[in-house]
Structure 1
Amino acid sequence: AFPREKVCGDGLTPRATKQLVSMGIDISEEAGWLRNKGLRIIGGGVRLQLDWPDLASYPDYGLVRKRDDFDEQLARQAQKAGARLHERCNVGAPIRDERTGRITGVEAKIGEEKTPVTFHAPLVVAADGNSTRLSVAMGLHRREDRPMGVAVRTYF
């Protein structure tokens, strides 16, 4: 249920910033956004300061916002575009087409009562984060041959 706190996602790249603009989200400072000019990467005794590239197709800045209201802002914008929002909904398992193996829906539990429900859709997007239940249920696991980044934040 919104608002909600989440550990990751306060910082957005220029690519994500472009998507917010395309969605019609107000990314002004007055709306609670702060711009940043790049990334600071610290690891293995190395410290790098990397500015965002100057590209014609993307802004030359990223954005920062407290995460506690960012997801709600995205959800409300999706509702305006016609999406149905189910808060306090816990997705547990994918529903697969026996013929193709493709995910065609999910099994979930809704509300404080944890009422079992089934959802079907022409396209299922698993936006369930780093500890994704759907990917694991589909037999997909993190590739050990690819690096993994961790974001750290503090508010002051």
Structure 2
Amino acid sequence: MEHADVVVVGGGPAGAACAAAVRRARPDADVLVLDRTDFPRDKVCGDGIAPEALDVLAGLGIDVAALTAGFPAVPRLRLQSPAGTTVERALHRPSLVVPRAVLDGRLLEQVLATGVRFRRHTVRRVTVHPTHVEVDGAVRAGVLVGADGAESVVRRALGVAPNPPDRLAIAIRGYAPVLPGTDGVQVVTTTDQRWPAYAWSFPLGDGRANVGYGELVSGGVTRTELVAGLHRMLPGVQPEGLRAHRLPLSTGRPRLPGGRVLLAGDAQSLINPLTGEGIFYAVLSGALAGTAAGSGRRAGEVHRQLLRRRLGGHLRASSVTSQLSRWPVLMDAAVRAAQADQGVFDDVVALGLADGRLTARTLAATVRGLR
């Protein structure tokens, strides 16, 4: 049976960040990444990358400039509330929009250059032993990290239940010509029709934009209704290559068992419930899993501690805000507050796209906006 110190299932941003973190902590570690497809490959996603995600990757030794080359920074963000109030401001730090067919391949290529191994393999069975973990009876690992997405095989092998429908979103995404007036602007728009629902348009800098629409699975939405929602909320959009994907929200994340098997990214239900953002959570949770992997049989416990220390406060804030956002009037008030105050705008962006908190300033401004 083949042996590796750490086996990572999934070569996307969470898995690549995990592998990079293991090698950075232990340059002699044997790390094997397994994925059912070769790279580069596409994934249904908004393609937006918050600067905080790039900070995590830079800390792992990734050449961020090479990772994002050819895709200009997007300096502005436009938010529209359910009632139609709109605020557009400059971001505290610009975001980028890089297609996952490009981003994932470039990231994994850099990680493999550090000595990480890669193999195309569809994982079907995970068996946990006191001293190691076996994958399909063919590979033995000291620690196994499941970074294999929303339909994680590793998660199922652990007996972790999927998110309930009211903690699970579904979104459809395609590419379209940039709508007039939105070049250089990320657009996130909401509506009280089929609430909570939102649409986005993120420009790539080449005349195209990543466009999409999403809502909760519990609403019973169909593909036809997803497409209709996209056209309703982004009038005039002409998308191609529409594909749908489920998003396990962080409000439904499970308490993970300790031991030698970890989860990261979408497999751990780390999707922001306010915006559907997942790349920042993916690379951060992957990097922390890579750090924890050195703890062997205690890796799961250490990973939980690291995540709680780094993201616990933010995840509590995003969960509370997600519950409050069920009332569209509160969303309207928050957008009006962001319209009046750059600081509130920055707080809202950090909460929805990175690791921000629900600050007293934003709460007070939102309450004033209700009057």
Q: Same fold (TM over 0.5)?
A: yes
Aligned match of 1:113: none
- For residues 149 and 86 of structure 2, what CA distance do their matches in structure 1 show? 26
How far did 1:72 drift? 1.5
Partner in structure 2 of residue 136 of structure 1: 156
The answer for unaligned runs of 5 or more in structure 2 is 1-37, 177-207, 209-371
In the alignment, does 2:128 pair up with 1:96? yes
**Is the counterpart of residue 106 in structure 1 residue 142 in structure 2?**
no
Greater fraction helix: 2
Report the CA distance between 1:128 and its aligned residue. 0.8
Match of 2:55 in 1: 18
Superposition pairs of residues 116-155 of structure 1, within 5 angstroms: 118-144=138-164, 146=167, 148=169, 150=171, 152-155=173-176
Code of the aligned partner of 1:31: A
CA 1:131–1:152: 2 relative to 1, 3 Å:
same
Greater Rg by CA: 2
Q: Which residue of 2 aligns with 1:67?
A: 100
Q: Which amino acid aligns with 2:121?
A: C
TM-score by length of 1: 0.65
Give the CA RMSD over aligned residues.
3.6
In structure 2, what is the equivalent of residue 112 of structure 1? none
Taking structure 1 as reference, are residues 74 and 12 closer, same or farther at Cα in structure 2, changes over 3 Å only? same
State whether residues 68 and 103 of structure 2, in contact with CA within 8 Å, keep that contact through their aligned partners in structure 1: no
Structure 1 unaligned residues grouped into runs of 5+: 55-59, 108-116
Alpha-carbon distance in 2 for matches of 1:11, 1:2: 19
Q: Aligned pair count? A: 138
Amino acid corresponding to residue 104 of structure 1 in structure 2: V
Structure 2 Cα separation of the partners of residues 85 and 131 of structure 1: 21
Asked if 1:80 is matched to 2:113, the reply is yes
Cα deviation digits, residues 79-100 of structure 1 (max 9, x gap) = 11221011x3211121211x48
Structure 2 counterparts to residues 28-39 of structure 1, below 5 A: 31-37=69-75
Q: Identity over the aligned pairs, expressed in percent?
A: 27
CA gap 1:151/1:127 in 2 versus in 1, 3 angstroms? farther
Amino acid in the other structure paired with 1:33: F
Following the alignment from structure 1 to structure 2, what is the Cα–Cα distance between the partners of residues 148 and 51? 27
